[in-house]
A and B are shown apart, each in its own frame.
Chain A
Amino acid sequence: MEPPKGRGKLAQRDARFAWLMLLPTVIIVSLVVILPLFAIVWISVKPIDLGDLRPTTLVIRENFRTGDEVHEIEYRVRNSSQEASIADAGFTDIVPSEIELLELPESCSLSQGSNLDCDFGDIEGGFRERFSIPATITVSPDVAEDLAEESQPRVRGDADSVLTNTEFTFDNFRKLFDQKEFFTVLWTTLFYTFFGTVGALVFGLFAALLLNISFRGQGILRGFFLFPYVAPVIAVAFTWINLLDPFSGSINTLIVQMGLTEEAINFFGQRPLALIMVTLFEVWRYFPLSFLFILARMQAIDFDMYEAADMDGASPFQKFWYLSIPQLLGILSILFLLRFIWTFNKFDDIFLLTGGNAGTRTLTVNVYEQAFGISNIGAGAAVAVIIMLFLLLFSFFFFRFISQEEGL
């Protein structure tokens, strides 16, 4: 008999069930991850500022002015944007029956005795107008004022939003590459990423070697070594700033006292020291992770191998170099690649430590700096797109070399 071919009923049902279970996750993740990624690409080719996020509208204020006999309702109208125009702009307002409008301006009309409608047609950016409508009232001026201002005028008009129109530009990218600064940023990112990753790996390897020997208190020490990673980044970043402050930091006082330097060092304020310091912070904060992974791998190495090596007279360093390191190479390379990507993505740490000043601006900090520092969302998005291109490159390597080992 031949084995069954194709997909049976059960398999099909299982597949449907699987998709059903996955559906909520897929929907929500695409909503909040995939869509924003498209949005980023979209915004990056738009000439858009932070201020453009608010849609362009007609802004209107209504005022009741009391006169001797004839009173006035005053309307002040303006375009919220200085540049963008609004098509078919206008407003409607309900005039209370206690107020009778005497003469209407050309652009306005009154229907059903109480519906005031004013139309301005297409208006330019920076449009501004005020006009008054004389009126008589049948109640006291104060009551009339309240009544008049109670009914809010409704504005209308079609404004073209920069976010949704079809105007595209490569200006954001062009400007980005024109700046010499961009390549400094790129170089800073690579330095930070490479040395941060390697440093964390090396420190993690050493820490794992220390704790791979069983002794009393080993568990506690292992937990303790993880503190830098578990504590909130904002807490440890501010502690580092505090510790290394040039005027009242303990470290500076200590090294001056020890005679290592004549005067205090501004660790986070001068090039290239600031970059080295943020890299050291990265190493300090993330060595626990590599430490944990390497330790887990070390404890899984077959002990027999070491015993055999002992029999053959291998010395401790030889055992480390010829037995442990080859066994750890797999986890080390996975860690390197993954940590490289995360470090490349890192934003909080540098943002908190230096705000990207003193030569520490990496690509991610640049996204923030462009979008919020100089309010140019388009330029920020352009940097983000560049980050994503880098990530595509990295993930290519990742899936090429790692996924077989990870079984994904």
Chain B
Amino acid sequence: MKRLYYGYITGPLIGIFWTLVVSTSVSILMAFATGGAYLPTLWGSILSGLLLGLLAVRFQNHLIVIPAAFLVAIILPFVGLGPLAYGDSIPLSMQGISSLLFSIGTGWALVKYLTDCPWGNLTRHEFEECVIRFLTGSGMVFFTAIVLIPFYVMVMTSLKSQQALLLNPLDFSLEFEKGWGLLRSYFELFNDFNFGTYMITSFVVSITTVVITLLFSVPGAYAIARFRFAGQGALSRSILLIYMVPMIVLALPIYVVFSTTGLRNTIIGIILIYPVTTIPVSLYMLQGYFRGLPTEVEEAGLMDGLSRLVVIWKITLPLSLPAMASVSLYVFMIAWNEFLLAFMLLDDPKIFTLTRGVAMLNSSEIPRQHLMAGAVVSTVPIITIFMALERFMTRGLTAGSVKG
């Protein structure tokens, strides 16, 4: 390891690895944006990275390294060693844009990574700082890509026509001249496939689930958290145990019972069964929160002659509003995303929930952009709610949701 502790060795090494990351990312980015053939080259990237790493360590200045990277990207291809290679049909302008992206991506980041990294001897500290900055940068690129690409493809596919998709599955450039025609799949979903109704059904089912869940779990969680009674330990353990029973195991007898009692294929049946899947989670989350509330406030209320119920209503509940918001959001998310029970219990297209409706679109007769449009329609509301209330949501997730 010690042999690496020289700026003129660390710099080029980080340069090489980072350039590989950048040329791959730029190729994928350009390919997904335009559908053309862009590819990173191994030896070209290594050569460019070597040069740029040395420059970055030597000059430590964006204004030198970025233009140098641009030159590298447009000159090296002439000797057959460019960091990026292009297919035959790629116009010069696009090659220019990719070179520009490449030069900013390498030059700007490499200077950042290699600041405080002198040309000669490095201390272990300086070396590791550089490596960590490089790893952080690569990690950002990696995670952003793996999260972004599926959602990007989901949205873009829903806006394409079937022919365009079959022609080049990579080409996600939008045909803006179609105007509203871009949203054709969505219009068809809402007009011909009843997705408006499904959405309302999903909202109604999810909100009812939240309300019922809270009605049951707030008193229950309070009792577990505040009172001492025989069987308390066993009870709070069995909550966790129930929380672990897989849905498919329950779904089978529920299917049998619902089939024989006529609850199958009804919204009532769904509303009956959803809260039961969420009550244990909610109990678990809320009792953790109630335990964290100071008992003194409640005891003061009791001393003043309030009854237990009044204390809960006037003191505990207002204090736990944020926790209830988190739990509600989390339960809403579970109910909104629930698929298995809806799939097994609902057959009648009139009363589908949104997830069941999307499952219906998965057929060879229905074009794929409809399926993706359905996926977008089911994703957008929950993601919007999530983004708007991110603070509550993340807290809700951390409080109880080790469940998937």
Residues in A lying within 8 Å of B, measured CB to CB: 11, 14-15, 17-19, 21-22, 24-26, 28-29, 32-33, 35-37, 39-40, 43, 53, 55, 163, 206-207, 209-210, 213, 219, 222-236, 238-240, 242-243, 245, 248-250, 252-254, 257-259, 284-286, 289, 292-293, 296, 313, 315-317, 334-335, 338-339, 341-348, 351-352, 364, 367-368, 371, 377, 380-381, 384, 387-388, 391, 394-395, 398-399, 403, 408
Contact present for A25 and B170 (CB under 8 Å): no
Contacts of B246 in A (CB 8 A): 344-347, 364, 387, 391
Q: By the criterion CB–CB under 8 Å, are A22 and B382 in contact?
A: no
With contact pairs A37-B245, A225-B147 given, residues A28 and B276 touching in the complex (Cβ less than 8 Å): yes
Question: Are A15's CB and B248's CB within 8 A?
Answer: no
A40 / chain B contacts, CB cutoff of 8 Å: 249, 252-253
Contact of A19 among B140, B223, B257, B337 (CB under 8 A): B223
Partner of B87, one of A35, A225, A257: A257
Known: A25-B216, A223-B390. A384 touches B223 (CB 8 A): no
Cα-based distance from A316 to B125 in the complex (angstroms): 7
Does the CB pair B375–A238 fall under 8 Å?
yes
Whether the Cβ atoms of A232 and B337 lie closer than 8 Å is: yes
B355 within 8 A of A: yes
Distance A399 CA – B237 CA, assembled complex (angstroms):
8
Q: Which of B26-34, B68-76, B176-184, B318-326 contacts A (4 or more CB under 8 A)?
A: B26-34
Collect the chain A residues with CB atoms within 8 Å of residue B204's CB: none
Q: What are 8 inter-chain pairs, A to B, with CB distance below 8 A? A: A232-B375, A232-B382, A243-B150, A316-B125, A335-B402, A342-B244, A345-B248, A384-B249
- In addition to A14-B227, A15-B227, A239-B154, 4 A-B residue pairs with Cβ atoms within 8 Å of each other are A17-B227, A25-B279, A248-B368, A364-B246
B308 at the interface (CB under 8 A from A): yes
| Contact (Cβ within 8 A) B358 A234 | yes
- From A231, A381, A395, give the contact of B382 (CB < 8 A): A231
Within 8 A of A (CB), among B369-392: 371-372, 374-376, 378-379, 382-383, 386-387, 390
**B404 vs chain A, min Cβ distance (A):** 4
Distance of A366 Cα from B376 Cα, bound (Å) = 30
Question: Chain B contact residues: over half helix, strand or loop, or mixed?
Answer: helix
- Say whether, besides A37-B245, A239-B375, A377 and B256 are in contact (CB < 8 Å): yes
Structural contact, B339 and A233, CB atoms closer than 8 A: yes
With the chains together, A406 CA to B359 CA distance in Å? 38
**Which of B172, B379, B402 is the one whose CB lies under 8 Å from A231?**
B379
Alpha-carbon distance A395/B238, docked complex (angstroms): 10
Q: How large is the interface on B (under 10, 10 to 19, 20 to 34, 35 or more residues)?
A: 35 or more
Q: How far is the CB of A373 from chain B (nearest CB, A)?
A: 13
Write the residues of chain B forming the contact surface with A, with a CB cutoff of 8 angstroms. Answer: 27-28, 31-32, 37, 39-40, 87, 124-125, 128-129, 132, 136, 139-140, 143-144, 146-147, 149-151, 153-154, 157, 165-166, 168-170, 172, 216-217, 219-220, 222-224, 226-230, 232, 235-237, 240-242, 244-250, 252-254, 256-257, 259-260, 272-273, 275-276, 279-280, 283, 308, 333, 336-337, 339-340, 354-355, 358-359, 362, 368, 371-372, 374-376, 378-379, 382-383, 386-387, 390, 393-394, 397-398, 401-404
Whether A230 pairs with B39 at a CB distance below 8 angstroms is: no
Can you name the residue of chain A whose Cβ is closest to the Cβ of B124? A315
Q: B283 and A19: CB pair below 8 A? A: no
- Shortest distance in angstroms between B95's beta carbon and chain A's nearest beta carbon? 16
CA distance A37 to B236 in the complex (A): 19
Instruction: Choose among B139, B355, B401 the residue that contacts A207 (Cβ–Cβ < 8 A).
Output: B139
- CB-CB under 8 A from A259, the residues of chain B are 39
Let me know if A347 and B248 touch, CB within 8 A. yes
Most interface-central of A22, A226, A339 (chain B CB within 10 A): A22
Q: Given contacts A14-B228, A257-B39, A348-B339, are A28 and B216 in contact (CB under 8 A)?
A: yes
| Whole-angstrom CA separation of A356 from B247 in the bound complex | 17
Please determine whether B252 and A225 come into contact, CB atoms closer than 8 angstroms: no
Q: Find the residue from A209, A219, A225, A227 having the highest chain B CB count within 10 A.
A: A227
A216 to B92, CA, bound (A): 36
- Chain B residues lying within 8 Å of A231, measured Cβ to Cβ, are 151, 337, 379, 382-383
Q: How far is the CA of A223 from the CA of B249 in the complex (A)?
A: 33
Question: A339: which of B229, B235, B397, B402 is its contact (CB, 8 Å)?
Answer: B402
The interface residues of chain A lying within 8 Å CB-to-CB of B247 are 345, 347
Report the separation of the CA atoms of residues A103 and B399 in the bound assembly, to the nearest whole angstrom: 78
Question: Which residues does chain B contribute within 8 Å of A408, judged by CB atoms?
Answer: 236-237, 240
What residues of chain A lie closer than 8 Å to B355, measured between beta carbons?
232, 234
Choose from B37, B124, B224, B402 the contact partner of A289 (Cβ within 8 Å): B402
Known: A231-B379, A235-B358, A257-B31. A19 touches B229 (CB 8 A): yes
Given the complex, which residues of B lie within 8 Å of A33, measured CB to CB? Answer: 242, 245, 250, 276, 280
Query: Contact at B242–A348, with CB atoms within 8 Å?
Result: no
Per the bound structure, the CA–CA distance linking A394 and B246 in Å amounts to 13
| Chain B residue at minimal CB-CB distance from A310 | B125
Q: Are A24 and B216 closer than 8 Å at their CB atoms?
A: yes
Q: Which residue of B lies closest to A280 (CB)?
A: B146
Q: In the complex, what residues of B have CB within 8 A of residue A252's CB?
A: 169
With a cutoff of 8 Å between Cβ atoms, the chain B residues found around residue A15 in the complex are: 227-230
Distance in angstroms between the alpha carbons of A259 and B27 in the assembled complex: 13
Residues of A within 8 A of B336 (CB): 232
Complex: chain A residue closest to B245, CB-CB: A33
- Minimum CB distance partner of B250 in chain A: A36
